[in-house]
Structure 1
């Protein structure tokens, strides 16, 4: 059984991650072109990191948002010609989301534009510290992803 004081530390960890997410989102959005917001960039980044050609429903599940919200986000990306919708060859009733060259370029350009900000972060956190914490954060993300996938109707923190 985990001690209550340990649970408080886990909660503090999630609090810090949430605050970092909020602050980093503001920094990101300052570098994005007008009309593009962090959720748009997150989808572009996900499609590059995981794979494009996913269905809107699969993306909605990955981002834990309603399909209608993901449809709205994808419509914004389409308006800016950053993604295109193609028929799903495996299911004629659905579509797949594909990055355009403009979408890939926007993602890469935004990351490059974040260089000066990341350089300032590097002045406060050593590469070794990043290498130490990154696997821990990845392990937590993988657990939460797996819990979500295994228990769609229960809490993502439910043990698997």
Structure 2
């Protein structure tokens, strides 16, 4: 296989993932209430998945956004009662972000709503595909995350 073939294969792979991301994010956006964006949901989902008590900078790095963008997103989530931001007891200048019970409930309900939205397009064949490639995609994500 030539370098050009390999490059086309790599770009094709990530293009497909990008399109899937765009389509699924649009479906997620439709299932969220006004004023809550998929990026806000992603923060709640991240904190739920990896554990809360993280600094805004660490969350911004994980989401690959600027600190200013994260500050704005956390304000939206805080104003809605989904997170609390407290002083870091080990670093008085630092902050830590925690999910509230309301935030956990919102995240869980959002997952149910988006699952309902996907129900009309995800059938047995698509579930088989997701099950077949899911762990390989997780491995690829871990590899890319470790090497960014």
Q: Quickly name the TM-score band, shorter chain normalised.
A: over 0.9
Corresponding residue for residue 116 of structure 1 = 116
| Higher helix proportion (structure 1 or 2) | 2
Counterpart in the other structure of 2:11: 11
Counterpart of 2:129 in structure 1 is 129
Higher relative contact order (CA 8 A, sep 6+): 2
8 Å Cα contact 2:31/2:117 also seen in 1: no
* SS, match of residue 121 in structure 1: coil
Match of 2:29 in 1: 29
- TM-score, normalising length: structure 2: 0.92
Aligned residue number for residue 58 of structure 2: 58
Cα shift at 1:125:
3.1
CA distance in 2, matches of 1:69, 1:4: 37
Matches within 5 A, 1:25-104: 25-104=25-104
Number of positions where the alignment pairs a residue of Structure 1 with one of Structure 2: 148
Distance (Å, rounded) in 2 between the aligned partners of 1:29 and 1:77: 16
What are the superposed Cα offsets for residues 33-53 of structure 1, whole Å, 9 maximum, x if unpaired? 111001100000000001100
Aligned partner of residue 142 in structure 1, secondary structure: helix
**Residue of structure 2 in register with 1:157 after alignment:** none
Of stretches 83-92 and 40-49 in structure 1, the one that deviates more from structure 2 is 83-92
Distance (whole Å) between structure 1 residues aligned to residue 35 and residue 122 of structure 2? 29
Tell me, what secondary structure is at the counterpart of 1:81?
coil
Structure 2, unaligned runs of 5 or more: none
Instruction: Give 4+ residue runs of structure 1 displaced > 4 Å after superposition.
Output: none
Unmatched 5+ stretches in structure 1: 149-160
RMSD, aligned α-carbons: 1.6
Shift of 1:117: 2.6
Instruction: Tell me the SS of whatever aligns to 1:8.
Output: helix
CA shift for structure 1 position 92: 1.0
